[in-house]
Structure 1
Amino acid sequence: MNILKLLKQRALVILKGLLKNYVPRSIIFSIDTIIVFFAAQSTFFLISTISKPEPQYYNLSLNFWAIFGIQIIIFLLLKSYAGIIRYTGFRDAIKQLQTTILAVICIMVINQICFQTLGKKIIIEAGAIVYGFIAFSTLFFFRVLVKRLYQLIHSDSTSSRVLILGTSITDVAVAESIIADTQKKFNVVGFINESGELKRTRILTLPIVTIDQLQHKNIRGATCIIISSQKLRELSTNQPEFLDKLLELNFKIFKLPELQDWDGENISAEIKKVNLEDLLQRTPIKLQKEKLNAIYKDKTILVTGAAGSIGSDIVKQLIRFKPKKILMLDQAETPLHLMSLFMDEKFPEIHYEKLIANVRNKKRLELIFEQHQPDVVFHGAAYKHVPMMEANPIEALDVNFVGTKNLVDLALKNRVDRFVFVSTDKAVNPTNIMGASKRSAEIYVQSVARLETTETRFITTRFGNVLGSNGSVIPHFKKQIEEFGPITVTHPDITRYFMTIDEACQLVLEAGGMGYGGEIYVFDMGKPVKIVDLAKQMIRLSGFIPDEDIKIVYTGLRPGEKLYEELLADKENTKATHHQKILIAKSSFAFDKSKLILLENLVNQIANNDEFKSIEVLKKLVPEFIPLTEEQRQKNAV
């Protein structure tokens, strides 16, 4: 008994080894040969039961070897043994059918030749058809059996039961691919018709349901929904309420990659969980690649704040235009080191320099400009956290204003072709030091751009919050959800504009290419989003129920924080550009001599580290800067 048990275990190990790895073609050919040997024997046995009194259980006559030899030759010609058995599907069935049909035709043709010349046949015509049926059935059954054994051995008992959103040809193909997938991470149990009208009730023997039916009953224990990337974009843009309904029903939503990104074999590995950025995505941006290529190709490009979320993505976006050299400048050592490792691994052909420097240190910047002579500057280095800057106003002004001034002056001195300043919507009618410091930097950039002697094109870009950027609300909420709450929101009515990092940086590059100098480009941020709605969506995407599993707590507005952000000042208007998502803010700011004196005075007060006088000058330079009073903060907190 022990020996039998040991042999059984050993056989199972060998079987697992065969199913785990690709089985050599020679072994598959040998097994197919054995299968058709027994198929031919079975055929002669069935014929003998009809034509002879006693059945012939085996036959090794010349007729048998002729049929067997014909089939072997067909195997070698069509290479039907060359497929990977664990991926057996419809195409494999067609291949086996072609093999057996061709063999049957050859047998029948040779049959007629033998009958006409020798007066006798290899096998009766009906026998040839019976042989073809048996051979095809057993060859294909063998493949299906091996595939099923592989799935059972490698199956995961925790596989998710999923519904496919949609009933189009593409959606059905996705379902078939998941069903045929060997990893079985997902078990397809049905389809959802998003239109709400059912013309048929089943596909692939699986039920089709509407969202209303999902609200009233559990469909075969489904906990997840899979949706294609294209359909996710369409619903996010045109029917966001449909996605909200699915999330409210507590389904986990997964997305498929674009069709061209599939690896062709393991579809389960390509299916990713939908994140908040997917739900807020908008129409893809179309860049003027030829124009931008002419501007950025073979140029030395300096990116400040290159280790930050915006700066690092600007670097990545620039790579496609094959610049001569990218100068990655940042004061943060570790993030810049990580960025350089990324560049070495992903883009070893790109020439870049990693420069540790602080934008406040003008002498260090002078050396960099002299050594590398940049053609284009993208200035993204800044302090951006509103409450932190409220507590440290001199630091905010020193980095955001003086740092920008240093770079602008050096760009002017070194005749840089283009200077793109990355600003923020908080610079519009600012109520906090961070926003006011960025607005003062905008003013300085414009003051230099208007000079007749200026050869550099100074361009300002202004946009709102970026999803997933360092220090944004999204990573903060993720951390709170991981800790099972509560999620803290400052006010139930607080709203913000959001766009993805990828979208923001592409628009920065596009604006940098279209500017003539002095413009402030405003990006189409879409509709403002309530922060509390973001929190609820993130909770649902994590598989929890808002205010039941994870609580939402309101903490009151922080110092300098607005209920809503603006992209244009009250006295500003906009004009369109050739790009539908980029507008030009036409500022009414008057650059008289008094304003230029204020700019110089602000620099002096910051250098003196005089916080009070610096803010007083800032208020005169940016008259729309009206800090919130303590009474207003308390009112907003209610």
Structure 2
Amino acid sequence: MQKRVRNQLQALSPPFKKALMVGMDALIVVFSFWAALSLRIGDLYDGLGHAFIVLSTLVLATILIFSGLGFYRMVMRYIGWRVAERLTLGVVASSLVLLVIMLVAPEAGIPRSSFVIYALVLFTLVAGSRILARKFFSMTERMPARQRVALYGAGTTGRLLLHMLGRAGKYHPVVFLDDNAALHGREVNNLRVLDAGSDELVEQLQLLEVETILLAIPSARPSQRRKILARIEPMPFHVLTVPCMQEIISGAAKLDDVREVDVEDLLGREPVSPNEELLRTCIQAKTVLVTGAGGSIGSEICRQVIEDGASRLILVDISEFSLYQIDKELRAFHRVVEGAVEVVPVLGCVTDAQRIADLFGAFSIDTVYHAAAYKHVPLVEHNPIEGLQNNTFGTFHVAEQAARAGVKHFVLISTDKAVRPTNIMGASKRLAEMSLQALQQDFEGTIFSMVRFGNVLGSSGSVVPLFHEQIRSGQGYVTVTHPEITRYFMTIPEAVQLVIQAGAMARGGEVFVLDMGEPVRIVDLARRMIRLSGLEVRDAEHPDGDIELRFSGLRPGEKLYEELLIGDGARGTDHPKIMCADEHYPPMAVLEGALQALRASMDARDMGAIREHLVGLVKGYAPHEQVEDWVWQALQRRQGGNVGQGS
């Protein structure tokens, strides 16, 4: 019944709702006037008929005052305590109107002291009506259960978050956790502060029926966050966090946009302040082209290129949707809105030689960041010719056209999988590196460089979002390929910032290698993500755990560990996170002939010859025992051929 009435009232038009509120206040004014006089004379006042003009004037004036103060623009269910100030002002004004009427028309016979009683009654009834209306409209048939949470951090951010979470929403803060010994045992905003490092913390939180720990430390340094997470990770609580301070300041997120703990929080490292001069060298006031602009790395390059002062940014991508997404995002950037930088989206494939030639002929391009690539190892292994065509020959086309057009800097985004590769993807990227090194000898006017690094967090196809998806799905297991597999990880913004600085340091033909920190065992990463979700790994020690780790085996072309250097010759640079490798490559006369032979084998779909060419060209290349191209295998079976090594 209540719900039906509430829904009917909420469905009324705004003018009708306003009319109801005005009518209600008019009745309250009349009753307050009558009650004030009755209380003043000590008996029921029966002279309303004689005071009609006085009462009508008072009602009209009060409604106009309330309207002027915005009483009838307020949404009832969202009225808060700040309304009390306006309400007091309105009641005082209405009482003064009554006082003026009594002074101007003494013949009405209204006792002068009654205006004070009138004010008290009017305030009580108007305030009471608003409180009851708010209560009525905010009622639900059944309030949803709220998670009891502990807020980690009793500082300014924690107190602000407590206020924002308030008395509504999904989370109900019941206690603060903090490392500051001066706060332990005290109360902050009526919540007790517990010692976050106490050995008894788990028992204390369980007594409070806490389900989730919410990190309210957005300004903490990466090392601090890692230390805190390492401490609370083994605890049987779901761990969530507020966005980082950079996201909050930029407006990309609000403080109460609670989210899962990112892998960046687990693996993030202390940032190294960039060299601003290096960031601007190849970008400021220049025309910059980014291939693969809609990808994980390419899109971040675009963002930083705009912020670093480019005058024109050309986006090239084969995916219409990806190009649309990054173009739309960039057009909201302040420098783009102001017209300080021109953004040019171009649909095209790097293997389309004519399209690439037209592109360099149409614009005077200063710098190229070549991020276009097929990078998913198993997919490229199953589609080897397409991987070589895009990653090797596409790079060669773009680099050669860039050099002929007089581009000053060309930076290739490479990968650690190019080092002693066991897969087509890695071999194709090493061939791309070699192509640029050879081109450097023929085109001294263009500075070619390559930047090699490992996995980036949050990229498409990354293991991290896969783990998140498997944990949330409730399927009961997380898949890891091998218990000993390790990978290097770096955040996308840090990787791109280092790429830009490395490219600016180049003098021609260098292979730069980024310091990726320590390699991470993927199985350990999976375990940490499971525990931070408030769940337990199911294994021999914990047979009743929530999520099992399943090992599926290495996929075709996959290595247990990645390397960043082919040889031992690596020297430091002016940047502590960037090294330079000296690696052998054949001269263009030799490489060009070898690439032509490789291309002929690709055109003939001769997988055996393709593998032989790659073994001869790429140092350390150790192909999988059999050809993994599914289409080629199916054709071979139809023709009664051998689906093994392509021979």
Secondary structure, aligned partner of 2:9: helix
Instruction: Please state if 1:149 is matched with 2:136.
Output: yes
Instruction: Please state if 1:477 is matched with 2:478.
Output: no
Looking at structure 2, the residues matched to 290 and 21 of structure 1 have their Cα atoms a distance apart, in angstroms, of 58
User: Aligned letter for 2:170?
Assistant: F
**Structure 2: 5+ residue runs without aligned partners?**
539-544, 602-608, 626-647
Looking at structure 1, the residues matched to 402 and 423 of structure 2 have their Cα atoms a distance apart, in angstroms, of 28
1:636 alignment counterpart:
none
1:415 alignment counterpart:
406
Instruction: Please state if 1:326 is matched with 2:310.
Output: no
- The one of 154, 163, 168 aligned to 1:176: 163
Secondary structure, aligned partner of 2:112: coil
- The one of 35, 38, 58 aligned to 2:31: 38
Q: Is the 8 A contact 2:433 2:450 kept in 1?
A: yes
- The one of 109, 112, 131 aligned to 1:123: 112
Per-residue deviation, residues 488-528 of structure 1 (Å, max 9, x unmatched): 32333433222333443454455555655444444454544
Secondary structure, aligned partner of 1:446: helix
Secondary structure, aligned partner of 2:314: strand
Residue 236 to residue 39, structure 1, CA distance change in 2 (3 Å): farther
2:548 alignment counterpart:
551
Per-residue deviation, residues 439-465 of structure 1 (Å, max 9, x unmatched): 3433432343466x5222323222221
User: Aligned letter for 1:47?
Assistant: R
1:463 alignment counterpart:
453
Per-residue deviation, residues 554-575 of structure 1 (Å, max 9, x unmatched): 3455565444444456320222
Q: Is the 8 A contact 1:275 1:541 kept in 2?
A: no
User: Aligned letter for 2:581?
Assistant: S
2:179 alignment counterpart:
195
Looking at structure 1, the residues matched to 433 and 464 of structure 2 have their Cα atoms a distance apart, in angstroms, of 27
1:339 alignment counterpart:
323
- The one of 206, 209, 220 aligned to 1:234: 220
Residue 97 to residue 277, structure 1, CA distance change in 2 (3 Å): farther
Secondary structure, aligned partner of 1:239: helix
Instruction: Please state if 1:617 is matched with 2:621.
Output: no
Residue 31 to residue 615, structure 1, CA distance change in 2 (3 Å): same
Q: Is the 8 A contact 1:164 1:188 kept in 2?
A: no
Secondary structure, aligned partner of 1:193: strand
- The one of 570, 574, 587 aligned to 1:576: 574
Give the deviation of 1:550 after TM superposition.
1.5
Greater mean deviation of Cα atoms: 555-564 or 302-311: 555-564
Residue 10 to residue 563, structure 1, CA distance change in 2 (3 Å): closer
Looking at structure 1, the residues matched to 252 and 570 of structure 2 have their Cα atoms a distance apart, in angstroms, of 50
Q: Is the 8 A contact 1:497 1:528 kept in 2?
A: yes
Q: Is the 8 A contact 1:324 1:351 kept in 2?
A: yes
Give the deviation of 1:535 after TM superposition.
1.3
Give the deviation of 1:422 after TM superposition.
0.4
Secondary structure, aligned partner of 1:615: helix
- The one of 70, 80, 89 aligned to 2:80: 89
Instruction: Please state if 1:251 is matched with 2:235.
Output: no
Per-residue deviation, residues 40-64 of structure 1 (Å, max 9, x unmatched): 4443333333xxxx35488674887
> Where in structure 2 are the equivalents of 1:218-233 lying within 5 Å?
218=206, 221-228=209-216, 231-232=217-218
Q: Is the 8 A contact 2:476 2:547 kept in 1?
A: yes
- The one of 297, 320, 331 aligned to 1:310: 297
Give the deviation of 1:316 after TM superposition.
5.3
> Where in structure 2 are the equivalents of 1:280-429 lying within 5 Å?
280=267, 296=283, 301-315=288-302, 318=305, 324=312, 326-330=314-318, 335-340=319-324, 343=327, 347=331, 352-359=344-351, 362=353, 365-370=356-361, 374-387=365-378, 397-428=388-419
Residue 496 to residue 139, structure 1, CA distance change in 2 (3 Å): farther
Q: Is the 8 A contact 1:460 1:520 kept in 2?
A: yes
Give the deviation of 1:436 after TM superposition.
4.6
Greater mean deviation of Cα atoms: 555-564 or 484-493: 555-564
TM-score normalized by structure 1?
0.75
User: Aligned letter for 1:570?
Assistant: D
Percentage identity across paired residues of the two chains = 31
Looking at structure 2, the residues matched to 618 and 517 of structure 1 have their Cα atoms a distance apart, in angstroms, of 22
1:607 alignment counterpart:
599
User: Aligned letter for 1:177?
Assistant: M
User: Aligned letter for 1:491?
Assistant: H
Give the deviation of 1:410 after TM superposition.
1.4
Looking at structure 2, the residues matched to 111 and 200 of structure 1 have their Cα atoms a distance apart, in angstroms, of 59
Greater mean deviation of Cα atoms: 60-69 or 511-520: 60-69
Residue 113 to residue 225, structure 1, CA distance change in 2 (3 Å): farther
TM-score normalized by structure 2?
0.74
Per-residue deviation, residues 191-220 of structure 1 (Å, max 9, x unmatched): 322226445554554554454565114365
2:633 alignment counterpart:
none
**Structure 1: 5+ residue runs without aligned partners?**
631-638
User: Aligned letter for 1:48?
Assistant: I
Instruction: Please state if 1:166 is matched with 2:153.
Output: yes
Q: What is the count of residue pairs matched by the alignment?
A: 592
Greater mean deviation of Cα atoms: 312-321 or 488-497: 312-321
Looking at structure 2, the residues matched to 220 and 35 of structure 1 have their Cα atoms a distance apart, in angstroms, of 46
Give the deviation of 1:472 after TM superposition.
2.0
Looking at structure 2, the residues matched to 286 and 85 of structure 1 have their Cα atoms a distance apart, in angstroms, of 51
Q: Is the 8 A contact 2:510 2:582 kept in 1?
A: no
Give the deviation of 1:411 after TM superposition.
1.1
Q: Is the 8 A contact 2:513 2:581 kept in 1?
A: no
Residue 244 to residue 24, structure 1, CA distance change in 2 (3 Å): farther
Give the deviation of 1:289 after TM superposition.
8.4
Per-residue deviation, residues 284-317 of structure 1 (Å, max 9, x unmatched): 8987889868965786544333443333444455
Looking at structure 2, the residues matched to 343 and 68 of structure 1 have their Cα atoms a distance apart, in angstroms, of 59
Residue 526 to residue 263, structure 1, CA distance change in 2 (3 Å): closer
1:635 alignment counterpart:
none
Looking at structure 1, the residues matched to 177 and 134 of structure 2 have their Cα atoms a distance apart, in angstroms, of 31
Looking at structure 2, the residues matched to 524 and 28 of structure 1 have their Cα atoms a distance apart, in angstroms, of 67
User: Aligned letter for 1:15?
Assistant: L
Per-residue deviation, residues 120-150 of structure 1 (Å, max 9, x unmatched): 99533xx655544444444333333333333
Looking at structure 1, the residues matched to 89 and 261 of structure 2 have their Cα atoms a distance apart, in angstroms, of 42
Per-residue deviation, residues 236-285 of structure 1 (Å, max 9, x unmatched): 44132423554542325253585567799x997x4444444565556689
Looking at structure 2, the residues matched to 284 and 33 of structure 1 have their Cα atoms a distance apart, in angstroms, of 64
Looking at structure 1, the residues matched to 279 and 187 of structure 2 have their Cα atoms a distance apart, in angstroms, of 50
Secondary structure, aligned partner of 1:90: coil
2:643 alignment counterpart:
none
User: Aligned letter for 2:320?
Assistant: L
